[in-house]
Structure 1
């Protein structure tokens, strides 16, 4: 492995760790309004860097990822509904 490759691997690992921390925070705040300013501030990356890292690791933009996570949350909440059946309503 060359020194350049080793440095690149360390940079990518650091970016991945930053992205993982950001994604964890995002999952805890999906109900909040999240704009680019919040993403840049939380990630400590530039707009371009943040977009590049998301595309590299998730193959989508940060906003697409957030929307997808919100969709998953809604689906999981709707599939976890408890349906109560009142046995008195059945004539049997």
Structure 2
């Protein structure tokens, strides 16, 4: 195995450990067995309870709070993984054009 491939395997291993660790650390106790309504739109005159903000803070049962506050640590490794997939796709397409 070359140095280049071993470095790639080390990076993949680190990303995998961070991703799996983030999933295991997350608090699953907040999940429900049945669907729950999440306020995702700003409050209107008809239904002000749909506002996702509570005095300038995100409500804990809003979708943005769940994505960025509770599972934000999973987004960074996923973003790096998706970036690597895009770069890999560009490299593969350039190799096919050169042949």
Give the TM-score, by structure 1 length. 0.40
Give the TM-score, by structure 2 length. 0.37
